[in-house]
Amino acid sequence: MSDNPRPSLYGADYSALLASRVSELEPVISRVVGKHCESGDIVVRDCYLPSDISPNDLLAVAATGAYCHSLASNYNYLPRPAMIAVNEGKVKVLMRAETEADMLSRDPGYQS
């Protein structure tokens, strides 16, 4: 929701795939939700993912692109994620993840 508001704003539709490992299990219809306690924080409404997916697995949500980064916010005081590009198996960090220190540096009332 804070890093990709497009699904909650106007119903943008994405798909996801399991990126951290290969599963031999049959895929099941799944819903991917975000980290906010909001009913509208749905990243992918319906997609097929392996039935043995677990909290530590890495999912790839393709084609979120630069528009998501420009729309991102620090809602619930969460830092924005890194922007990553993957091409032919090579990963490039386009923009590093925001840190809590980055966020606090903008607060003139914060004393470190």
Q: What is the pTM of this model?
A: 0.78
Catalytic residue among 22, 29, 37, 63: 37
- Per-residue model confidence (pLDDT) at position 86: 85
Q: What is the pLDDT of residue 31?
A: 95
The question of whether 68 is a catalytic residue gets the answer no
**What's the pLDDT tens digit per position in 50-92?**
999 999 999 999 888 667 888 889 999 899 988 888 899 899 9
Residue 93 has pLDDT above 80, yes or no: yes
For the chain, domains (ranges, CATH) are 6-105 (2.40.37.10)
Burial of 43 (0-12, 13-18, 19+ CB in 10 A): buried
The encoded tokens of residue 83 equal 């922007």
Q: CB within 8 A of 71, min separation 6: which ones?
A: 4, 5, 6, 9
- Asked if pLDDT for residue 112 goes beyond 80, the answer is no
